[in-house]
Amino acid sequence: MSVKVLTANRLTDGEAVWLGANGEWLDHIDGALVARHAEAVAALEEAGKAAIKSNLVIDVNVIDVEERGTNLYPLRLRERIRQLGPTIRLDLGKQAEKTSANAA
């Protein structure tokens, strides 16, 4: 079933971020706050407006994701690429951080 999370880009460096369950903006989609019904989605949208006002992020969007086991899988390719990095440069973006973290 498709559920929603809130994503944006961080003001200072433009990095893709997701709103976490703890109210912080996270560098990775894992741990993002998941909205499963209309009220929760409305709350996400409100949180997005507040975040823009508080000047932390820009380009805030509610996106569709699927819960696959413990992972969140964005339905649109665009969002999957934002989540990982350019598909043609696996050494760049979040996928690279994850790889180097795994390697370490």
Partner 1 sequence: MYRYDEFDHAFVSARVEQFKDQVERRLAGELTEEQFRPLRLMNGVYLQLHAYMLRVAIPYGTLSGRQMHKLAHIARRYDRGYGHFTTRQNIQYNWPALSDMPAVLDELASVEMHALQTSGNCIRNVTADHFAGAAADEVADPRPYAEILRQWSSMHPEFSYLPRKFKIAVTGADRDRAAIQVHDIGLHLKKNEAGELGFAVYIGGGQGRTPMVAKKIRDFLPIEDLLTYTTAIVRVYNLHGRRDNKYKARIKILVHETGTEEITRQVEAEWQAIKDTDLKMPQQDVDAIDNYFRMPNLPQRPEGWSQLAISRKADPSFARWVDQNVTPHKNPDYGVVTISLKPIGGIPGDATDAQMDLVADIAEKFSNDEIRVSHEQNLVLPHVAIADLRIVYDLLLTDGLATANAGLITDIIACPGLDYCALANARSIPVAQRISERFGQPERQADIGELKIKISGCINACGHHHVGHIGILGVEKKGEELYQISLGGSGDEICTIGDITGRGFSSEEIVDAVETIVDRYLQVRTDKEENFLATYRRLGAAPFKDALYNETANAA
- Residue (37 or 66) nearer to partner 1, CB: 66
Pick the closest to residue 8 from 70, 77, 75, 55 (CA basis).
55
Helices 77-84 and 94-103, interaxial angle, to 10°? 50
| DSSP H or E stretch at residue 39 | helix 38-53
Asked if residue 15 binds partner 1 (CB under 8 A), the reply is yes
> What does the DSSP 8-state code read for residue 20?
B
| Binding status of residue 85 toward partner 1 by CB under 8 A | yes
- Shorter beta-carbon distance to partner 1: residue 11 or 41: 11
* Span from 19-27, 32-40, 43-51, 52-60 in contact with partner 1 (CB under 8 A): 52-60
For position 49 contacting partner 1 by CB under 8 A, the verdict is no
What burial class does residue 22 get, using C-beta atoms within 10 Å of its C-beta: 0-12 exposed, 13-18 middle, 19+ buried? exposed
Sole window of 17-25, 28-36, 42-50, 82-90 interacting with partner 1 (rule: CB under 8 A):
82-90
Tell me which residues touch partner 1 (CB under 8 A).
9, 11-16, 52, 55, 58-59, 75-78, 81-82, 85-89, 92-93
